[in-house]
A and B are shown apart, each in its own frame.
Chain A
């Protein structure tokens, strides 16, 4: 009896999960390790999927851009790694929602508390910029910035905001005294 109740709950969970995804316009969701292979697979999956829609080439490319940068942010910056030494694979969630107006690309990953102030400052600086100042910031960063050992150029967020014309939406959720969950959404309007 207990066993069948448990099975029933499992099946109901699948349905509830499906409903939540439908209700929130989630078209794609993943939780786990993000490697380079996964980044390639997800972005080309989205690319071929979106190519079948009536979206403009420009919009298709922007979605692809934001996806790649978002996925690479997790693989390079997530503080949760199966293998501490693995440079190009981090744990996180990756989600795409889509409605009549927009695509939203959301990532979530663990960050160390000590990295929050710099991260916040970086995003706020980008969010307070306009087209012109972001262009200047991009030029300044690409000229002066050094690549991190993981090959990060520090340009991902700037590029996301420049490509979408939309500010980054983000939040930090407390986990414990060392770690925080960082959630970031980038919106791409379908009409622009």
Chain B
């Protein structure tokens, strides 16, 4: 399956979607406040649709955002809902929500998504110095 690799900028996150069975890696990291959120996230949602047709044995998505605006929060939910579908179709799915250890708001945002979607979540704190 094709690989998505988008470099991060000051207003868009770095995105890696690589479902290579040897060494799969899926991550969205950095900042998200794109001018046009739909245009930015559409290819990611499309990729997830394609991926869902033939998913790996285990799907792990890392979300490691330091900031996202409210418009992005809606699109992040759309991504998580795709994973929910995958999980409900009896696939092994895990979302790893990374947050800076001093950022309660980002930790809480992860907890809220965990409440909203039916997908196993793992909260991972990291320190920035």
Closest B residue by C-beta to A39 = B33
Chain B CB within 8 A of A80 CB: no
Contact residues in B for A163 (Cβ distance below 8 Å) = 105
Which stretch from B13-21, B22-30, B34-42, B46-54 is at the chain A interface? B34-42
Of the candidates A39, A58, A142, A156, which one forms a contact with B103 in the assembled complex, judged by CB atoms under 8 Å apart? Answer: A58
Residues of B within 8 A of A53 (CB): none
Quick check: is B11 within 8 A (CB to CB) of the other chain?
A: yes
Find out whether the CB atom of B70 lies under 8 angstroms from the CB atom of A156. yes
Find out whether the CB atom of A135 lies under 8 angstroms from the CB atom of B112: yes
Chain A residues within an 8 Å CB radius of B36: 88, 151
Q: How large is the interface on B (under 10, 10 to 19, 20 to 34, 35 or more residues)?
A: 20 to 34
User: B67 near A155 (CB under 8 angstroms)?
Assistant: no
- Chain B residues lying within 8 Å of A72, measured Cβ to Cβ, are 33, 69, 71
B6 within 8 A of A: no
**Count of CB-CB pairs between chains A and B under 8 Å:** 66
Interface bracket on A: 20 to 34
Alpha-carbon gap, A88 to B4, bound state (A):
27
Which residues of B lie under 8 Å from residue A69 when comparing CB positions? Answer: 69-70
Query: Which of A60-68, A99-107, A117-125, A179-187 binds B?
Result: A60-68
Structural contact, B35 and A57, CB atoms closer than 8 A: no
Within 8 A of B (CB), among A137-189: 138-139, 142-143, 145, 147, 151-153, 155-156, 158-159, 163
Q: How far is the CA of A72 from the CA of B70 in the complex (A)?
A: 10
A145 touches B115 (CB 8 A): no
Cβ of A7 under 8 Å from chain B: no
Cβ of A190 < 8 Å from any Cβ of B? Answer: no
A98 contacts partner chain B, Cβ-Cβ < 8 Å: no
Question: In this complex, what residue of B is CB-closest to A135?
Answer: B112
**Complex alpha-carbon distance, A144 and B116, angstroms:** 11
Chain A residues within 8 Å of B11, by CB: 36, 40
Bound CA–CA A88/B40 (angstroms): 15
Q: What chain B residues lie within 8 Å of A39 (beta carbons)?
A: 33
Contact of A152 among B67, B71, B77, B112 (CB under 8 A): B71
Q: Which residue of B lies closest to A57 (CB)?
A: B102
Report the minimal beta-carbon distance from B110 to chain A, rounded to whole angstroms: 13
| Distance from B102 Cβ to chain A, minimum over Cβ atoms (Å) | 5
Chain B residues with CB under 8 Å of A68's CB are 33, 69
Q: A147-B71, A147-B75, A153-B73 are in contact. List 10 more A-B contacts (CB 8 A).
A: A40-B10, A61-B67, A69-B70, A72-B33, A72-B71, A139-B112, A139-B116, A142-B73, A142-B77, A147-B37
